[in-house]
């Protein structure tokens, strides 16, 4: 398909902070009504590596901290050590609902983007999302700003398209040139034993799943991995 861009509709995305103990208990209960993500390795966890971009005004950073209802972020992502599947994503948020546009990148496209040599790629590529990022880079000086790493466990309910994830060991790095080789220092964002729960669904969260999550009394949060990783790196670099 020309451009190979994937557009997903807006979905609800609820976030919570939870301890290791709550994570273990919630996992046990969810496993009775949901399936582990079929793409997950045998140990049930996989690694996510993201390279986030921002413009010369740090618009993504400040619109997140101000709670602006409509905003977007650019990132490049891969999983584990699989460099055959590198994706460019634009995550668009409206209130508590999000959707993503994404397309797969070749290594050559990745190198052109992160090096800032995007004039040629703007005209040569057929991928609409790369063209969109290239325009933002030319007009607003979007550049890579921080690496965000974490481990994830994911449960899915395919019939109603519900996805629940546990994100652990969230950390940041400023050594952007080592994004693909993984050989970079890491700074943990949350205190030891703290994790992030995300509940993602389309229009309706089935009551049997909602009741399980709500039984723990979690307080919803607007936690942003990008924001907290930027803040910890910025404080370290001062």
pLDDT tens for 203-227 read 999 999 999 999 999 999 999 999 9
Please state, in angstroms and rounded to a whole number, the distance separating the CA atoms of residues 186 and 146. 11
The pLDDT value recorded for residue 5 is: 55
- Of residues 185 and 122, the one with the higher pLDDT is 185
Residue 217 CA: distances (Å) to CA of 26, 197, 203, 213: 12, 13, 22, 8
Q: Give the mean pLDDT of 184-200.
A: 97
pTM of the model: 0.93
Question: What is the maximum alpha-carbon separation in the chain?
Answer: 54
Cβ proximity of 134 and 114 under 8 Å: no
The pLDDT value recorded for residue 8 is: 57
The pLDDT value recorded for residue 65 is: 80
At residue 175, the 3 state secondary structure works out as coil
The pLDDT value recorded for residue 4 is: 54
Residue 221 CA: distances (Å) to CA of 1, 58, 110, 121: 38, 22, 33, 39
Please state, in angstroms and rounded to a whole number, the distance separating the CA atoms of residues 114 and 151. 24
């Amino acid at each position: 398909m020309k451009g190979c861009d994937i557009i997903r509709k807006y979905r609800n995305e609820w976030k919570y902070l939870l301890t290791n103990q709550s994570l273990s208990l919630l996992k046990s209960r969810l496993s009775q009504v949901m399936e582990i993500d079929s793409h997950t390795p045998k140990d049930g966890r996989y690694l996510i590596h993201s390279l986030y971009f921002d413009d010369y005004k740090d618009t993504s950073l400040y619109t997140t901290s101000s709670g602006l209802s409509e905003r977007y972020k650019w990132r490049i992502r891969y999983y584990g050590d699989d460099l055959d599947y590198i994706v460019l994503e634009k995550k668009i948020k409206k209130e508590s609902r999000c959707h993503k546009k994404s397309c797969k990148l070749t290594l050559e496209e990745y190198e052109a983007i992160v090096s800032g040599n995007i004039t040629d790629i703007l005209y040569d590529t057929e991928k609409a999302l790369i063209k969109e990022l290239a325009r933002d880079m030319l007009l607003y000086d979007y550049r890579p700003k921080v690496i965000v790493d974490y481990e994830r466990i994911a449960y899915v309910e395919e019939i109603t398209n519900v996805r629940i994830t546990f994100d652990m060991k969230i950390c940041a790095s400023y050594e952007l040139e080592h994004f693909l080789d993984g050989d970079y220092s890491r700074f943990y964002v949350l205190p030891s034993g703290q994790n992030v729960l995300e509940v993602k669904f389309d229009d309706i969260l089935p009551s049997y799943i909602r009741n399980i999550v709500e039984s723990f009394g979690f307080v919803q949060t607007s936690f942003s991995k990008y924001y907290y990783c930027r803040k910890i790196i910025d404080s370290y670099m001062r």
